[in-house]
Amino acid sequence: MPAVATSFFTAEHDALRVSIRSFVERELAPHAEQWEAEGNFPDSVFERMGAAGLLGLSYPEEYGGSGGDYISTLVLKEEMARCGSGGVGMAVAVQTDMATPPILRFGTEVQKQEWLVPAIKGSKIACLGITEPNAGSDVANISTTAVRDGADWIVNGRKIFITNGVRAHFCTLVARTDKPSGYHGFSLFIVPTNTPGWQVTRRLDKLGMHSSDTAEIVMEDMRLPEEALLGEEGKGFYQIMWELQGERLVAAAGAVAGSQLLFERCLQYAKERKAFGRPIGQFQTMAHRLAEMASEIAAARELVYDAVWKFNKGDYPVKEISMCKLYTGIVVNKIANDAMQIFGGAAYLMDVPVQRAWRDSRLMRIGGGADEVMREILSKMRGL
């Protein structure tokens, strides 16, 4: 790990941060309340971000990306927290770090041109089809099937909790292609969502992340051509487990950034809000709470930066990423809960953003691998 955790940020990263922050504060943050109330944000956000070069920061220039490193992705995730809507940040993360990385890594040149290039431009929106009613963190229990029919594949199954699923133009889909083969029986497919047999059956109503559309999908006798197969047949489980590491790391980075923003709001409020004739931050119980919050956020950030540094240099740090996912989820929920207490009755009002952060943060301990799954991974890595 670098002697100073932030030493991997270069002048280029700093300039990128300034540019992204300006975009977020100008293009996204002013609309957060409206998008949350409406339960959606316009598709044009993807197009505007694509035009600004923000959907392909670490993708090769030959596909419309900026050719940057993974630390550029970290900068984007940290700054997206400032938009004030966790749902927007999550939807964009699906586009940049969940549904498209497998296309770059495993796709053919034709697939990259047809799907990755427009995804980086923001003209095609992506979703990721993993979770099913009976297969969440237990990816090996996926029951959606893809069966050969001549040169084609016939897909049947059901997916749930699919972010961007209502609006997506294509889906990076996990399906079982050979049940007797166990972990070797899964494959990935790129599915255009206008394919006959693909149906959005429900837009899900959620506790938080209101501006992000989340769908239930049913696939009934959906016919895909041979060229829809992404990567090597039978390698889908290993490919999607690789993808999940990036998903968990960007989620952890976003959780830390969100925690930091909440802390800053709490600190400012503690200086301004008065009780019994003085600012509440001058009471020892409040001052100590804020000191503890700052310490927990700093520890979480160092954990994330360590994993990012290793990921950026080509390592595959499953242990560190699992720790990040587990610990940052615990921290962001504690910070959100502390913020509710610091703001008191005001935090319970729907027009005060603290309550939204409190609701949105709860997903971090469930989505992308629940706390219990992260603990299980870490336990097994120690031979337990």
Alpha-carbon distance of 242 to 207, in angstroms, equals 29
Distance CA 73, CA 53 (A): 12
Residue 247 a catalytic site member:
yes
Q: Are 124 and 172 in contact (CB under 8 A)?
A: no
Q: Burial level of 383, CB count in 10 A (0-12/13-18/19+)?
A: exposed
Cα distances from 373 to residues 139, 239, 323, in angstroms, run: 11, 19, 11
Q: What distance, in Å, lies between the first and last C-alpha atoms of the chain?
A: 27
Answer for the pair 46, 55: CB distance below 8 angstroms, yes or no. Answer: yes
In whole angstroms, give the CA distance from residue 299 to residue 297: 5
Measure the CA dihedral 46/50/54/56, to 10°: 110
From the list 79, 132, 216, 247, the catalytic residue is: 247
Active site residues: 247
